[in-house]
Amino acid sequence: MVGLDDATHDIKRVRLRSPQADPFDFSAGQFASVTFEGCPPRDYSMANVPGDPMLEFHVRRTEGGATSAHVAEKLKLGDSVRVEGPFGASYLRETHRGPIIAVAGGSGMAPLKSIVERALQKELPQHIYFYFGVRTRARPLPARSFRRAGRDSTNLHFIPVLSEGDGIEPALRAWCTRPWRPTSTSSTAARPTSPARRSWSRRRRRLFEQRGMRRIDIHADAFYTAAEMASAGKKTGAEP
Protein backbone atom coordinates (compact mmCIF):
# COMPACT_ATOMS: atom_id res chain seq x y z
CA MET A 1 0.00 0.00 0.00
CA VAL A 2 1.39 3.39 -1.01
CA GLY A 3 -1.31 5.88 0.00
CA LEU A 4 -3.72 6.38 2.91
CA ASP A 5 -5.65 9.55 3.77
CA ASP A 6 -9.02 10.82 4.97
CA ALA A 7 -11.53 11.48 2.20
CA THR A 8 -14.14 12.43 4.84
CA HIS A 9 -14.45 11.94 8.60
CA ASP A 10 -15.51 8.30 8.09
CA ILE A 11 -14.06 7.37 4.67
CA LYS A 12 -10.44 6.39 4.07
CA ARG A 13 -8.91 6.68 0.62
CA VAL A 14 -6.58 3.71 0.07
CA ARG A 15 -4.09 3.59 -2.80
CA LEU A 16 -2.32 0.41 -3.86
CA ARG A 17 0.48 -0.23 -6.32
CA SER A 18 0.73 -3.67 -7.92
CA PRO A 19 4.11 -5.40 -7.74
CA GLN A 20 3.47 -6.59 -11.31
CA ALA A 21 4.45 -4.53 -14.32
CA ASP A 22 0.96 -4.50 -15.84
CA PRO A 23 -1.80 -2.51 -14.11
CA PHE A 24 -4.88 -4.27 -12.71
CA ASP A 25 -7.25 -4.80 -15.65
CA PHE A 26 -10.90 -3.79 -15.18
CA SER A 27 -13.73 -1.76 -16.72
CA ALA A 28 -14.61 1.60 -15.15
CA GLY A 29 -17.27 1.02 -12.49
CA GLN A 30 -16.30 -2.53 -11.50
CA PHE A 31 -15.19 -3.72 -8.06
CA ALA A 32 -12.68 -6.15 -6.57
CA SER A 33 -12.46 -8.47 -3.59
CA VAL A 34 -9.93 -6.83 -1.26
CA THR A 35 -8.25 -8.59 1.66
CA PHE A 36 -6.30 -6.65 4.28
CA GLU A 37 -3.97 -8.62 6.55
CA GLY A 38 -5.90 -10.42 9.29
CA CYS A 39 -9.30 -9.40 7.89
CA PRO A 40 -11.99 -11.20 5.89
CA PRO A 41 -12.24 -10.21 2.22
CA ARG A 42 -14.57 -7.36 1.31
CA ASP A 43 -15.75 -5.93 -2.00
CA TYR A 44 -14.73 -2.36 -2.88
CA SER A 45 -15.09 -0.48 -6.13
CA MET A 46 -12.08 0.92 -7.96
CA ALA A 47 -12.20 4.73 -7.92
CA ASN A 48 -9.37 5.16 -10.44
CA VAL A 49 -9.57 4.84 -14.21
CA PRO A 50 -8.48 1.62 -15.98
CA GLY A 51 -4.82 1.61 -16.88
CA ASP A 52 -3.78 3.67 -13.86
CA PRO A 53 -0.71 2.12 -12.19
CA MET A 54 -2.32 2.71 -8.78
CA LEU A 55 -5.63 1.32 -7.54
CA GLU A 56 -7.80 3.61 -5.42
CA PHE A 57 -10.48 2.40 -3.00
CA HIS A 58 -12.82 4.36 -0.69
CA VAL A 59 -13.42 2.49 2.58
CA ARG A 60 -16.23 3.84 4.76
CA ARG A 61 -16.20 2.86 8.41
CA THR A 62 -19.34 0.90 9.24
CA GLU A 63 -20.73 0.04 12.65
CA GLY A 64 -19.38 -3.34 13.69
CA GLY A 65 -17.29 -3.64 10.52
CA ALA A 66 -14.05 -5.48 11.31
CA THR A 67 -12.40 -4.65 7.99
CA SER A 68 -13.37 -0.98 7.93
CA ALA A 69 -12.23 -0.62 11.56
CA HIS A 70 -8.87 -2.15 10.63
CA VAL A 71 -8.50 0.31 7.75
CA ALA A 72 -9.47 3.25 9.97
CA GLU A 73 -7.25 2.35 12.93
CA LYS A 74 -4.47 -0.06 12.01
CA LEU A 75 -3.70 0.03 8.29
CA LYS A 76 -0.36 1.65 7.47
CA LEU A 77 1.77 2.42 4.46
CA GLY A 78 3.71 -0.59 3.21
CA ASP A 79 1.12 -3.17 4.30
CA SER A 80 0.39 -5.91 1.78
CA VAL A 81 -3.14 -6.13 0.39
CA ARG A 82 -4.62 -8.89 -1.76
CA VAL A 83 -6.86 -7.83 -4.66
CA GLU A 84 -8.92 -10.26 -6.75
CA GLY A 85 -11.28 -9.49 -9.60
CA PRO A 86 -12.67 -7.63 -11.37
CA PHE A 87 -16.37 -8.21 -10.71
CA GLY A 88 -19.64 -6.40 -11.35
CA ALA A 89 -22.05 -5.60 -14.17
CA SER A 90 -22.39 -1.85 -13.49
CA TYR A 91 -19.56 -0.52 -15.65
CA LEU A 92 -19.13 2.04 -18.42
CA ARG A 93 -20.28 0.87 -21.84
CA GLU A 94 -17.78 2.87 -23.87
CA THR A 95 -19.53 2.26 -27.19
CA HIS A 96 -22.91 3.45 -25.94
CA ARG A 97 -23.77 6.97 -27.05
CA GLY A 98 -26.84 7.74 -24.94
CA PRO A 99 -26.56 10.25 -22.07
CA ILE A 100 -25.16 8.94 -18.79
CA ILE A 101 -27.07 9.49 -15.53
CA ALA A 102 -24.89 8.61 -12.53
CA VAL A 103 -26.38 8.54 -9.02
CA ALA A 104 -24.38 7.94 -5.83
CA GLY A 105 -23.81 9.01 -2.25
CA GLY A 106 -20.91 8.75 0.20
CA SER A 107 -18.40 6.04 -0.67
CA GLY A 108 -20.70 5.07 -3.54
CA MET A 109 -18.93 7.81 -5.48
CA ALA A 110 -15.93 5.50 -6.05
CA PRO A 111 -17.21 3.50 -9.06
CA LEU A 112 -18.91 6.53 -10.59
CA LYS A 113 -15.75 8.58 -10.17
CA SER A 114 -14.04 5.90 -12.26
CA ILE A 115 -16.86 5.92 -14.84
CA VAL A 116 -17.05 9.70 -15.20
CA GLU A 117 -13.29 10.21 -15.34
CA ARG A 118 -12.98 7.43 -17.91
CA ALA A 119 -15.73 8.95 -20.06
CA LEU A 120 -13.95 12.32 -19.94
CA GLN A 121 -10.59 10.68 -20.62
CA LYS A 122 -12.01 8.91 -23.69
CA GLU A 123 -13.73 12.14 -24.76
CA LEU A 124 -17.07 10.38 -25.11
CA PRO A 125 -19.53 12.74 -26.83
CA GLN A 126 -22.64 12.28 -24.67
CA HIS A 127 -23.75 14.41 -21.75
CA ILE A 128 -23.07 13.10 -18.22
CA TYR A 129 -25.40 14.00 -15.32
CA PHE A 130 -23.77 13.14 -11.98
CA TYR A 131 -26.12 13.36 -8.97
CA PHE A 132 -24.11 13.06 -5.74
CA GLY A 133 -25.96 12.78 -2.44
CA VAL A 134 -24.57 14.02 0.88
CA ARG A 135 -26.11 15.35 4.08
CA THR A 136 -24.24 18.67 4.01
CA ARG A 137 -21.39 20.33 2.12
CA ALA A 138 -19.09 19.37 5.00
CA ARG A 139 -18.68 15.95 3.29
CA PRO A 140 -17.17 16.90 -0.07
CA LEU A 141 -15.16 13.77 -0.97
CA PRO A 142 -13.82 14.57 -4.50
CA ALA A 143 -16.82 16.83 -5.22
CA ARG A 144 -14.66 19.90 -5.77
CA SER A 145 -12.70 18.17 -8.53
CA PHE A 146 -15.96 17.30 -10.32
CA ARG A 147 -17.15 20.89 -10.05
CA ARG A 148 -13.91 22.00 -11.68
CA ALA A 149 -14.22 19.29 -14.33
CA GLY A 150 -17.78 20.43 -14.98
CA ARG A 151 -16.57 23.96 -15.61
CA ASP A 152 -13.94 22.65 -18.03
CA SER A 153 -16.27 20.27 -19.87
CA THR A 154 -19.53 21.17 -21.57
CA ASN A 155 -20.62 17.52 -21.30
CA LEU A 156 -20.34 17.03 -17.51
CA HIS A 157 -23.10 18.27 -15.22
CA PHE A 158 -22.31 17.73 -11.52
CA ILE A 159 -25.37 18.16 -9.26
CA PRO A 160 -25.00 17.97 -5.45
CA VAL A 161 -28.07 16.53 -3.73
CA LEU A 162 -28.26 17.69 -0.10
CA SER A 163 -30.51 16.18 2.55
CA GLU A 164 -29.58 19.08 4.87
CA GLY A 165 -29.01 22.10 2.61
CA ASP A 166 -27.15 25.19 3.75
CA GLY A 167 -28.20 27.58 1.00
CA ILE A 168 -24.61 28.49 0.07
CA GLU A 169 -25.02 27.70 -3.63
CA PRO A 170 -27.61 26.03 -5.87
CA ALA A 171 -28.19 22.35 -5.15
CA LEU A 172 -31.06 19.92 -5.02
CA ARG A 173 -32.64 19.44 -1.58
CA ALA A 174 -33.62 15.79 -1.51
CA TRP A 175 -32.44 12.25 -0.84
CA CYS A 176 -30.79 10.27 -3.62
CA THR A 177 -32.78 7.29 -2.35
CA ARG A 178 -36.13 9.05 -2.91
CA PRO A 179 -37.92 9.95 -6.14
CA TRP A 180 -36.47 12.76 -8.24
CA ARG A 181 -36.79 13.82 -11.84
CA PRO A 182 -33.74 13.00 -14.01
CA THR A 183 -32.92 15.40 -16.80
CA SER A 184 -32.25 12.67 -19.38
CA THR A 185 -33.65 9.24 -20.07
CA SER A 186 -31.32 7.26 -22.27
CA SER A 187 -28.85 5.50 -19.99
CA THR A 188 -27.77 5.32 -16.37
CA ALA A 189 -25.13 3.94 -14.03
CA ALA A 190 -26.66 3.92 -10.55
CA ARG A 191 -25.06 2.78 -7.30
CA PRO A 192 -27.35 2.02 -4.34
CA THR A 193 -25.82 3.20 -1.04
CA SER A 194 -28.71 3.31 1.46
CA PRO A 195 -29.45 0.50 3.97
CA ALA A 196 -32.43 -0.57 1.85
CA ARG A 197 -30.29 -1.12 -1.23
CA ARG A 198 -32.45 -3.72 -2.91
CA SER A 199 -35.67 -1.68 -2.63
CA TRP A 200 -33.70 1.45 -3.67
CA SER A 201 -32.50 -0.32 -6.80
CA ARG A 202 -35.99 -1.54 -7.65
CA ARG A 203 -37.53 1.92 -7.15
CA ARG A 204 -34.85 3.58 -9.28
CA ARG A 205 -35.23 0.96 -11.99
CA ARG A 206 -39.00 1.47 -12.10
CA LEU A 207 -38.59 5.25 -12.15
CA PHE A 208 -36.04 5.19 -14.96
CA GLU A 209 -38.19 2.80 -16.98
CA GLN A 210 -41.20 5.09 -16.47
CA ARG A 211 -39.07 7.92 -17.89
CA GLY A 212 -38.44 5.93 -21.05
CA MET A 213 -35.17 4.11 -20.37
CA ARG A 214 -34.66 0.61 -21.63
CA ARG A 215 -33.98 -1.93 -18.90
CA ILE A 216 -30.84 -2.99 -20.75
CA ASP A 217 -29.44 0.53 -20.22
CA ILE A 218 -29.93 0.55 -16.43
CA HIS A 219 -26.99 -0.78 -14.42
CA ALA A 220 -26.53 -1.17 -10.65
CA ASP A 221 -24.48 -3.35 -8.29
CA ALA A 222 -25.92 -3.52 -4.76
CA PHE A 223 -23.31 -3.44 -1.98
CA TYR A 224 -24.03 -4.77 1.52
CA THR A 225 -22.22 -4.39 4.84
CA ALA A 226 -21.12 -7.51 6.71
CA ALA A 227 -23.89 -6.91 9.28
CA GLU A 228 -26.52 -6.69 6.55
CA MET A 229 -25.24 -9.88 4.95
CA ALA A 230 -25.30 -11.68 8.31
CA SER A 231 -28.87 -10.55 9.02
CA ALA A 232 -29.89 -11.84 5.60
CA GLY A 233 -28.24 -15.20 6.29
CA LYS A 234 -25.63 -14.82 3.55
CA LYS A 235 -22.12 -16.29 3.85
CA THR A 236 -20.11 -13.52 2.28
CA GLY A 237 -20.45 -9.79 2.25
CA ALA A 238 -19.29 -6.49 0.93
CA GLU A 239 -18.65 -3.16 2.54
CA PRO A 240 -19.40 -0.17 0.29
**What is the CATH number for 144?**
3.40.50.80
Question: Residue 72: inside a domain, yes or no?
Answer: yes
* In the predicted structure, residue 235 carries a pLDDT above the cut 80: no
**Are residues 145 and 197 part of one domain?**
yes
Q: What is the number of structural domains in the chain?
A: 2
What pLDDT shows up at residue 171? 46
Tell me the pTM.
0.78
pLDDT for residue 229 is more than 90: no
Identify which has the larger pLDDT, 20 or 187: 20
Burial of 60 (0-12, 13-18, 19+ CB in 10 A): buried
Position 31 pLDDT exceeds 60: yes
* Positive or negative torsion for Cα 123, 49, 135, 146: negative
In this structure, are 66 and 154 located in the same domain? no
User: Do 9 and 109 fall into the same domain?
Assistant: no
Asked whether residue 7 falls in the same domain as residue 74, the answer is yes
Q: 123 in the Ramachandran plot: left (φ > 0), alpha (ψ -120 to 50) or beta?
A: left
Provide the percentage of residues in the chain whose pLDDT is more than 70: 70
Peptide bond before 86: cis, by omega within 30 degrees of 0? Answer: yes
